[in-house]
Amino acid sequence: MANVLLTQQCVRSCPYCFAKKHMADSEPDDILTWDNMIYIADLMESSNEMGLSLLGGEPTLHPQFVDFVMYLLERRFHVNVFTSGILSEKMFNEAERALSAVSPDRFSFVCNVNNPDKSPFSELENVRRFLKAFGHLTTPGFNIYKPDFNLDFILQYINEYGLHRHIRLGIASPIPGQHNVYVPINKMKDMAKQIVSYLPILERLKIKAGFDCGFPMCIFNEEEIGKLYKHNSGRLSFGCGPAIDIGPDMTVWGCFPLSNIHKKSLYEFNSVHEIRDYYRNLHQKVRTEVAGIFDECDDCVYREEMLCMGGCLAHSYNHFLKEANVRFKEIYQ
Amino acid sequence: MREHILVCPFDESLLSRLHDESLVVIAPNFEQIPHVYHTAMQRSNRVICVVVYSKGSLAAVPFHESWKGIPIAIYAGEMGPFKEFMMRLPLIRDLNIRIFLNSDKKENFTALHIISSLHINCGLEFGESDFDWEALNDLMTYALYGKVHHGVMEPFQFIASRYNPERLTDFGTVYFNNPNIYLHIDKDENIAISRKDLQKGNFIAKGLNELNDIKKNKKFEEALHEWQNFFLQNNTCAFCPSWRVCMGKFTDTIERNPGCQKFFADLMEATDHFLASEHKKREREVWQL
Amino acid sequence: MATIIFKPTEKCNSNCIYCDVVVRKKPKTMSYELLELIFKNIDEYLKSIPQERIQLIWHGGEPLLLGEEYFQKAIELQEKHCRDTKHRIDHAIQSNLTLMNEKFLGLFRQLGINQVGTSFDPIAGVRGPGAERDSVSYNSRFFKGLNLLEKHNFGWGFIYVVTKKSLARPLDIFYYLTNMKLSGGFMLNPVLIYGEDRENIGITTEEYADFLGAIFPEWWKHRNRFPQVNPFKMFVENIIEKKKTVGCEDTGRCAYGHVYIGPSGEASQCGRAGDWEIISYGNINERSLIDIMKDKQREQFIERNDILMNGECKGCPWWEFCHGGCPLDSYIKYKDFKHRTNRCEGKKLFLEKYFFPITGIRF
């Protein structure tokens, strides 16, 4: 599955946002055109990849957001939209009319929610309106950017708005060379404890928590891994990319935190597999230099067996930027 | 049956005088399409297609179940609101239809891209205004090099599939403007070689009986060989490497809007690619040009 | 097959800039009596060589100026005098098409002609009647003639003569000609000048090679679009495909295969030799065609092969499809036939500078 950015503009200013630099550098009218959307759809279809995610910035800011979704659905794609849930009145009405009745098999939202205590009232109202209309299509997402996070409000959202009984947990990653808020490596075990502390209530409420990429396995002790394993019915992954992101200007990169590194033109590739292979090879080369975010990753048997990828590659890149340029040159491009 | 296909307006009196002909009938409006078709089919006539010329948007076209099975060409001014077009898509897919949008509107290039990608056969009608040759080139590239199956787009498909190095490829055929194949006739039985000529009063003959010996008609013969004037006048187009697939159709605008030569050269390359690839797309049966 | 370049008239309705015939002050036309004698001789010749065929190429001037009656007469004379051999006579014709009509075409069909050779030039002032060479009206009539040919399913091919006027726009000319006749079917021949270059249209063999070289990359890239363009097609056939399809000037075998007969019955080696009045085989009024075809002077063309193979052309890699070129080219420069063509350097230049690098062929 590839991620397609409809726009670089956003409605929020999340402290952990690893797309901040990208958005700051973009033009307001830098939005995906129809012709480029068709090109991307053709590329996906010819690569036999019939699922894609629309994101941003805030994808619903794109004036043709609903049209694009309808178009992609008509072309038999499964469409997933990453959104803040904060839509303009006009867009909300349009989306509700056109999309609320679409089957969850074909269409879904991941609504990345922030703690209500830290959100302005108008934002909250927007999010609630969104969840009320689209809750049946929506998985809540949460980006952890400090170890003492709180998921209680999400549980409430799930119950109140009938969201999918699944929480998509992401870990805020550093943008190499930039300043954003993220969980430092030495605080990850604390974060892990906090995650595990929620498992009992999640199980009581029959809600699953799943990990996005970038979580290293060894921040959890053996007992915690066992609990997570049971919680996820044996499906546990500590992977790291590459996630293919396609920008509105038809550039492509290997994942958002690394969006300034090794950016290529989409037209250089003939298929999605080619893109994935390209970045996989590149990331592998980086991992050859630095296996993972901990020193122990170098000798870790679970990393060698690919049970864990050694955490987010962005941490490794951050590592390189602080040292002299002694490694192979592609790392620094 | 006559060699030529007659392009005529829907006039019941005229149609009553046509027997055993191949016809392209111009319907006055969308609502009358079935009536036009069935009326024209009487008296052993074969209806190649029913055409409706409209300046309105495609989204406003009242597509109808009763159009199923009727070969139709629609000329519209624009696509209109996408959502409204999408609502009509399931029915459009069931129709034997080709949709043309005009090049006068820049947005129509993207609209055709969308329509074709949704597996609807479509085409670009060249309008009166200058257009962007690069945009046309992009559309042609999609039409002929597209990665995945999509609706056929004219006139590119016609040129690529009918191209024969031994003959001229006249894409005017797509718009029923090819005197080798089509003759235009009005309700007064005035005959012309193109719709424009008919509208302007440039007739080559009058009367249905003239059709029987049209090949002996001097004006008709001159029309067939009109392309030679480019050579006699040493027109720029006669020296163009892509003459064979253009035949000087843009000679009037070449000075103020150059770009045709490059476009048609790229089209010739695309045609070579198209022919060489041996890629047979299975299309729905659409009425043939 | 023996080839007769048959010139029953020197009259012409055009004043083409490169023509050697048109400059003649008193153009002659063959009488019916002589025409009859020709057919008698053809019959005698064919009966003397049972398997032989004759290609009779009607030439001029402009042969259509003879009028329809003349061709009708030819048909009758052939019927009368070649009853048993007419099936071994292949007629062909070169015409500027400006006088073509349906009656002529009907007569041609009776002679077994189903295609016409012609010439054309898009550059103004090269072909056309009068001192100014009015190519506008001329070309208009040319196209009318062309349309008639196509209407009646006659094939046609043409020669384009490359002159100094052509050199500035080789690709333009190529595209024009291929647009006129889509798959090709024409030859790009250099202008050949014997004596004074009155109109200043002569080109060197190097200029001709460069003219071809400017076109060749485009032809090679898209040869599927216009396969019938010579000399490119001929080079490809002979060098790459190893066929032997060179023209008469390169076969080395024109000695006994060609003859020219002019309007007064004068005989020479070929059309060019006749126009330039080089070498005479006498007159058919006094000699039979059989004797003309066996004229001892022809031996020098045989000897020429040996002379060149052991001399100027010894070791030349192109011998097999050149044979020293046309003997008349040698005559232009040396006033004898014992030398190789004066176009040798130009041919080599084209091959080495353009043909091999562009095709990637290693000879």
Residues A256-314: tens digit of each pLDDT = 777 777 889 999 999 999 999 999 888 888 888 777 888 888 888 888 888 888 888 87
Quick one: average pLDDT of B231-247?
A: 94
B283 has a pLDDT exceeding 50: no
Q: Is B86–A71 a contact, with Cβ atoms under 8 angstroms apart?
A: yes
Is B234 near chain C, with CB under 8 Å? yes
Q: Is B239–C172 a contact, with Cβ atoms under 8 angstroms apart?
A: yes
Q: Which of A187-191, B284-288, C211-215, C242-246 has the lowest mean pLDDT?
A: B284-288
User: Which chains reach chain C with 3 or more Cβ–Cβ distances below 8 angstroms?
Assistant: B
Question: Could you give the number of structural domains in chain A?
Answer: 1
A28 has a pLDDT exceeding 70: no
Backbone angles phi, psi at A25, to 5 degrees: -85, -10
B282 has a pLDDT exceeding 50: no
Whole-Å CA distances, C346 to B140, C206, C210:
43, 5, 9
Low-confidence ranges of chain C (pLDDT < 50): none
Tell me which chain B residue has its CA closest to the CA of residue C123.
B234
Q: How near does any CA of chain A get to the CA of B90, in Å?
A: 10
- Would you say residue B181 lies in a domain? yes
Q: Is C122–B231 a contact, with Cβ atoms under 8 angstroms apart?
A: yes
Backbone angles phi, psi at A141, to 5 degrees: -125, 150
- Give the side-chain half-sphere CA count within 13 A for A26: 25
A22 has a pLDDT exceeding 70: no
C137, C179, C183, C221: best mutation site toward chain B, by most B Cβ within 10 Å? C179
**In DSSP terms, which residues pair with B191 in a beta bridge?**
B185, B205
Q: How near does any CA of chain C get to the CA of B270, in Å?
A: 13
Confidence of residue B90 (pLDDT cuts 50, 70, 90): very high
Report the C-alpha gap between B161 and B136 in whole angstroms. 18
Number of H helices and E strands in chain C, helices first, is: 14, 9
Q: Count other Cβ atoms within 10 Å, centred on residue B8.
A: 21
Domain carrying residue B188: 171-281
The answer for B 158-187 residues in CB contact with C (under 8 A) is: 165-168
Q: Give A302-315 pLDDT, tens digit per residue.
A: 888 888 888 888 77
**In DSSP terms, which residues pair with A167 in a beta bridge?**
A209
Whole-Å CA distances, A321 to A16, A191, A290, B128:
20, 25, 13, 59
- Would you say residue B267 lies in a domain? yes
Q: How near does any CA of chain C get to the CA of B77, in Å?
A: 35
**In DSSP terms, which residues pair with C349 in a beta bridge?**
none
Report the C-alpha gap between C149 and C146 in whole angstroms. 5
- The residues, ordered by sequence, that sit 6+ positions from C167 with a Cβ below 8 Å of its Cβ are C203, C207, C210, C211
Cα–Cα nearest to C43, from C96, C81, C90, C98: C81
> In the structure encoding, which two tokens stand for residue A246, read together?
């396609």
Who wins on pLDDT, C65 or A237? C65
Is B276 near chain C, with CB under 8 Å? no
User: Which chains reach chain B with 3 or more Cβ–Cβ distances below 8 angstroms?
Assistant: A, C
Quick one: average pLDDT of B265-282?
A: 76
The answer for A 83-142 residues in CB contact with B (under 8 A) is: 98
Is the bond preceding A242 in cis, omega lying within 30 degrees of 0? yes
**Nearest CB to B118; choose among A46, A66, A74:** A74
Domain carrying residue A104: 2-332
- Would you say residue B138 lies in a domain? no
B207 has a pLDDT exceeding 90: yes
Q: Which residues of B touch A74 (CB under 8 A)?
A: 86, 89, 118
Is B240 near chain C, with CB under 8 Å? yes
- Would you say residue B97 lies in a domain? no
Question: Could you give the number of structural domains in chain B?
Answer: 1
Contact predicate A208/A202, CB 8 Å: yes
Residue with tokens 């072309």: A75
Q: Which residues of A touch B138 (CB under 8 A)?
A: 35
Q: Give C57-111 pLDDT, tens digit per residue.
A: 999 899 999 999 999 999 999 999 999 999 999 999 999 999 999 999 999 999 9
DSSP conformational letter for A243: P
Whole-Å CA distances, B264 to A81, A172, B102, B136, B243:
41, 52, 19, 10, 8
pLDDT value at residue B288:
62
B78 has a pLDDT exceeding 60: yes
B62 has a pLDDT exceeding 70: yes
- Would you say residue B205 lies in a domain? yes
Mean of pLDDT over chain A? 87
**Nearest CB to A42; choose among B83, B110, B148:** B148
pLDDT value at residue A234:
83
Q: How near does any CA of chain B get to the CA of A150, in Å?
A: 41
Who wins on pLDDT, B190 or C197? B190
A320 has a pLDDT exceeding 80: no
B103 has a pLDDT exceeding 50: yes
Whole-Å CA distances, B201 to A148, B189, B194, B222:
84, 12, 11, 17
Cα–Cα nearest to A176, from A290, A12, A301, A61: A290
- Would you say residue B21 lies in a domain? no
Quick one: average pLDDT of A103-107?
A: 95
pLDDT value at residue A63:
95
Report the C-alpha gap between B135 and B158 in whole angstroms. 19
B284 has a pLDDT exceeding 60: no
Q: Is B225–C143 a contact, with Cβ atoms under 8 angstroms apart?
A: yes
Quick one: average pLDDT of B111-132?
A: 96
**Nearest CB to B232; choose among C139, C175, C226:** C139
Q: How near does any CA of chain B get to the CA of C188, in Å?
A: 17
Tell me which chain C residue has its CA closest to the CA of residue B167.
C182
Q: Which residues of A touch B110 (CB under 8 A)?
A: 33-35
- Would you say residue B195 lies in a domain? yes
A21 has a pLDDT exceeding 60: no
Whole-Å CA distances, A272 to A1, A225, A245, A267, C221:
9, 33, 11, 11, 33
Q: Which residues of A touch B151 (CB under 8 A)?
A: none
CATH number at residue A79: 3.20.20.70
A329 has a pLDDT exceeding 70: no
pLDDT value at residue C131:
84
Confidence of residue A321 (pLDDT cuts 50, 70, 90): low
- Would you say residue B42 lies in a domain? no
Q: Is A41–B89 a contact, with Cβ atoms under 8 angstroms apart?
A: no
Q: Which residues of B touch C182 (CB under 8 A)?
A: 165-168, 244
